[in-house]
Amino acid sequence: MTAERILRLKAESAFFVLQKAKTLEKQGFNVIHFEIGEPDLDTPEHIKEAAVKALKEGYTHYTPSPGIPELREAIADNIREEFGVDYTPEEVMVTPSGKTAIFYALVSIVEEGDEVIVSTPSFPAYESVVRFLNAKPVFIELKEEEDFRLKPENVESKITSKTKAIVINSPHNPCGSILTKNDVEGLADLALKHDLMLITDDVYHKLIYDGFKHESVASIPDVKDRTILINSLSKTYAMTGWRVGYIAANKELINHMVVLQNNVVSCIPSFIQKASITALKGPQDFIKRMAEEYKRRRDAIVDGLNKIEGFSCRKPLGAFYAFVNVKRIGLEDTELVEYLLKEAKVATLHGSAFGYGGEGYLRFSYATSMEKIKEGLERIKEAVEKLTERDA
């Protein structure tokens, strides 16, 4: 009795690995987690206090479906400051997470039989939702030797008369790569040339290292009306459990997505919206400290991974993931994940969870403490040495 379309949706593998790791922990084992993309840092106190204050003041009722006006205005102001492009509050809507925003965006523009250009590897929800809509994901393989960038020249050869949109994600999950100004300008040119929509997932935009700058297609005025900007407070403010994101797009599209949201969840909890205003308009020094800490952890984990026999890792420039080439180990990436969890009690994520372009890689989230990074690396090193001895 199940509808065929629902079977086309796939869940994120990270949560299945997490579940296995949690089962081991219930059995008394100490597991180190590199598999889940969640900050170990807590939501700043002033944001939590704003939520409590809102609850006490009675913000426990319905709000307008697109979000309360003050939050939509705060988001528009934030986009102007961060991206240098003007959106009115009416061109912004609040969503229950960035992931929901991805769903809304694709549902609103993609018809059955359309093609959507998606990188591989990439965040699994893109492909999953495209297939759910009975559309076709067209994959652009990101190459390690090209720094895992979505290069315009690789995209154009895959554009057909059926292509509806290009999905862009920078900083990138799982690779940690970032797009250059030339990259985003080239993608914008393709959108204009071929009459395409651009969906840009910028949820890691504040987590960029080594003096590099975030370049978003949303900052290019010529393609503003054909761009859907997706962002979230989850990573920037360590608010993964709050489930709040947003979309900025042309007013006509926003109006349609508001109707969709009205049918799905009605609105975002009012007290969470009030706290989100505080996040966006309150002190921002937490973000800088967080990014500096992630950079320190990135340096430690990349250095340690490259010292493990058979592992090779380029230094990521953004987000909080290291994408490690493990092809020389001699196991499928899924097998290596199982082995490390069983032998070392270290949870990692297989690159093939992000599409065929990730085969032969593991993703490590370094959104965990330095102590756990060091211990996890030592455990992995010992486990890989045992594997090498076994196969000798």
Given a cut of 90, whether residue 269 has pLDDT beyond it is: yes
Question: In DSSP terms, which residues pair with 169 in a beta bridge?
Answer: 201
Percent share of the chain, pLDDT over 70: 99
The DSSP secondary structure of 234-283, one letter per residue, reads TTTTT-GGG--EEEE--HHHHHHHHHHHHHHTSS--HHHHHHHHHHHHS-
| pLDDT recorded at residue 143 | 97
Nearest residue to 289 (alpha-carbon basis) of 42, 84, 81, 13: 42
Nearest residue to 215 (alpha-carbon basis) of 119, 83, 86: 83
Which tokens is 350 given? 């297989």
Sorted by where each starts, the structural domains of the chain and their CATH numbers stand as: 4-43+285-391 (3.90.1150.10), 45-281 (3.40.640.10)
| 372, 303 Cβ separation under 8 angstroms | no
| pLDDT recorded at residue 392 | 58
Close Cβ partners of 11 (under 8 Å, ≥ 6 residues apart): none
Confidence bin at 389 (pLDDT 50/70/90): confident
DSSP state of 61: S
The rounded distance, in Å, linking the Cα atoms of 354 and 178 is 17
Given a cut of 90, whether residue 328 has pLDDT beyond it is: yes
DSSP state of 318: B
Q: Quick one: average pLDDT of 354-376? A: 97
Average pLDDT, rounded, for the chain: 96
Q: Quick one: average pLDDT of 204-208? A: 97
The DSSP secondary structure of 66-131, one letter per residue, reads T--HHHHHHHHHHHHHHH-----GGGEEEESSHHHHHHHHHHHHPPTT-EEEEEES--HHHHHHHH
| pLDDT recorded at residue 193 | 98
The rounded distance, in Å, linking the Cα atoms of 238 and 366 is 14
Higher pLDDT, 149 or 15: 149
| pLDDT recorded at residue 297 | 98
Given a cut of 90, whether residue 15 has pLDDT beyond it is: no
Residues across the chain: 392
Confidence bin at 391 (pLDDT 50/70/90): low
